[in-house]
Structure 1
């Protein structure tokens, strides 16, 4: 691998395997050399073999001796790699047509719904361009980013932050379950379809990134497993978790891309971030109904903000092996060096969810004195509006007491009474 490069402006040799790059007196050096090629001199970094007058395999092949820096991936390590330009991935004609067809389909769907839509929209500070921006009737702007090839997590986050700063809600579209943009910002995944089918209007379903909130009471009669006991037994508490449409009970209708174009612009569908149980920055970005997000925020007691500040993603952590510089030109070997398969990021499994207290029970002197969160959770779990809630005449636990087909006793109490 190429672990060294020549800096033409400073006239220095850079060792990419050292934490200080071999120059402890230049703390900003990594930021300078890892900048986007479009934002710096393309001849800033040079192949060491070319600089020393030896054969540069890339130049001999009719390409460039100039280089750029990327993060490699091999055996779980993330070293810095010097690669010859052009960039690691150049979209093939088929991929370019896929991208174009998807972008046009988004714009056409928006226009068909009477929404304002524009393709290739540059942000006010000219630091980023959205593939399409759809504006809803209340001025809500959704920036569609069609990303069918690899993009680093830091680039996804940076571009998302720029969009949010400009008042645009980013909506990233991937076609691969291993795409690095998944869970880095609001996203969805569609099928990998030929561009002619996309342009021809073939059904285009959202396969990942859109979920529904389900709340249930963890009792033996529940069709759901317990979140606390790894599916074994029942705890009697209330659970809430997010499920893809096919795993909802009952199963929910799949969302089409045209549905999301309209619903995201009108605010009917909104992004949400659900942190992992272990805390930290990890978690799931997803699109959900506005009603589901409102209930979730009510249950957890906090709002889920969009990306708002730069952060270092786990995939961006750099591994420094502290080796001597290899002065051999490695053009032609750069492809296999980063060929380790990327992990699947789009999992259909639930997110981990939350567990709430047991269904509220009747309290002395004030049987209906329950908190707002308790009422919302019970309403969702029992599938009835809040005004139909009431205490069981037997155990005092909250139940659907006053609605149609309601009863005076909850099911466990009825079973107990029938057994007497």
Structure 2
């Protein structure tokens, strides 16, 4: 892999191992050279050996002396590396056909359901183009970004920020569970299908990126385990977490791409970012029902629907070794050996969720004090309307106290009393 390139428009040598790229007076140079080749002059970056009139192994092999720059991965480091443009760097014909068929399917679905939709919508100030923009009856604008080949995380962040500035909510579509866009912006993953199946309307299920909120009381009779204790213990608290449809209890129906086209534009489905319980700097983006998001925000006291992510992920930060430029052509040595391979990003496992603190024991004879959050969580967990809630006569925890088939004591307390 090369650690330097020649910039054909500026006439400068770029050292990829230095924070200033070995030159001064070129603001925005890093963003420019790491821009996708499909969005810039493909002859912008040149092999240093070729520029100096020396042997370029790539050109000698009948290929290109032109280059692109990306982040490599060597152990825990993320150096910038330059590679010769391979023939397959641009989207393959199959990928292009898949991309076009998916875009057309989104636009046609929207039109069929009475929604306004446009394809290839330019953003302001020439900051990019959305594959399709669907506008809902209340003016909600969803920008569909069909991304079936690799894109850098920085490009995802930049294009997402550009869309949000224009009042467009981005919805990225991937077909690969390792796609770098996953959890860096609102996203959805579909199957890798032949373009003709997509065009012919074959069932297109959202495999990842859409979840449902499940709320449950952590007791032995619960079908779910405790979020906070190791093993299969139960803490008696109320938990809430997000699950893909197949892992919900009971299992939910799958969401199809047509469902998401309509629901996202009408506001029935909305994006949310759930921070990781262990590391608040990271989290998961997902599409959820508006009702689920409202309940989640009430439980956690969060009213921001879509927190803005940082412009750069911690695991995407560039490492600069500050070395001398190697002007020898390294074509033929280029392989993906500098990368440990993209990790699986679309994971079906829960997010880590949220646990509502246990209510303090309240003295008998005093008025019941239940906060709005506690009432909402208990109603969802126990599956009863809020007016049927009350406190257990034994442990003073929330339970279904009123209505048909109600009781004075919760199940654990009844078990304890019967065992005496």
Q: CA deviation at 1:366?
A: 4.0
165-174 or 312-321, which deviates more:
312-321
Structure 1 residue 381 corresponds to structure 2 residue 388:
no
8 Å contact kept, 2:35–2:155: no
1:261-272 pair list within 5 angstroms: 261-272=261-272
3-12 or 344-353, which deviates more:
3-12
Instruction: Give the distance between the partners of 1:40 and 1:309, measured in 2 at CA.
Output: 26
Change (3 A) 1:27 1:302: same
Instruction: Give the distance between the partners of 2:355 and 2:111, measured in 1 at CA.
Output: 43
Q: CA deviation at 1:92?
A: 1.2
Change (3 A) 1:299 1:307: closer
Aligned residues: CA RMSD: 2.5
Change (3 A) 1:283 1:332: same
126-135 or 335-344, which deviates more:
335-344
8 Å contact kept, 1:115–1:136: yes
Q: CA deviation at 1:194?
A: 1.2
Q: CA deviation at 1:225?
A: 1.0
398-407 or 250-259, which deviates more:
398-407
1:181 is aligned to 181
Deviations 1:258-301 (A, max 9, x none): 11111111111110000111234210000111111001100110
SS of the equivalent of 1:110 reads: helix
Q: CA deviation at 1:393?
A: 3.4
408-417 or 194-203, which deviates more:
408-417
8 Å contact kept, 1:360–1:370: no
SS of the equivalent of 2:124 reads: coil
Change (3 A) 1:181 1:348: same
Structure 1 residue 149 corresponds to structure 2 residue 138:
no
1:390-409 pair list within 5 angstroms: 390-409=390-409
8 Å contact kept, 1:363–1:369: no
Change (3 A) 1:256 1:333: same
1:331 is aligned to 331
Q: Please give the TM-score of this superposition, normalised by the length of structure 1.
A: 0.91
Deviations 1:135-192 (A, max 9, x none): 1111111111111111011111111111111111111111111000000000111111
1:30 is aligned to 30
315-324 or 259-268, which deviates more:
315-324
8 Å contact kept, 1:116–1:135: yes
Instruction: Give the distance between the partners of 2:123 and 2:20, measured in 1 at CA.
Output: 34
1:274 is aligned to 274
SS of the equivalent of 1:125 reads: helix
1:353 is aligned to 353
Instruction: Give the distance between the partners of 2:105 and 2:9, measured in 1 at CA.
Output: 45
Aligned length: 420
Q: CA deviation at 1:227?
A: 1.2
1:292 is aligned to 292
8 Å contact kept, 1:160–1:307: no
Structure 1 residue 128 corresponds to structure 2 residue 128:
yes
1:99 is aligned to 99
1:258 is aligned to 258
2:218 is aligned to 218
63-72 or 167-176, which deviates more:
63-72
Q: Please give the TM-score of this superposition, normalised by the length of structure 2.
A: 0.91
Instruction: Give the distance between the partners of 2:118 and 2:25, measured in 1 at CA.
Output: 47
Q: CA deviation at 1:125?
A: 2.8
Instruction: Give the distance between the partners of 2:267 and 2:311, measured in 1 at CA.
Output: 27
Q: CA deviation at 1:365?
A: 5.0
Deviations 1:64-107 (A, max 9, x none): 43333221234443211123347972111111111111111111
Structure 1 residue 243 corresponds to structure 2 residue 243:
yes
Instruction: Give the distance between the partners of 2:348 and 2:309, measured in 1 at CA.
Output: 28
Deviations 1:214-237 (A, max 9, x none): 111112221111111123422222
SS of the equivalent of 1:223 reads: coil
Instruction: Give the distance between the partners of 1:101 and 1:293, measured in 2 at CA.
Output: 31
Change (3 A) 1:16 1:254: same
Q: CA deviation at 1:403?
A: 2.9
Instruction: Give the distance between the partners of 1:376 and 1:229, measured in 2 at CA.
Output: 23
Q: CA deviation at 1:309?
A: 6.8
1:233 is aligned to 233
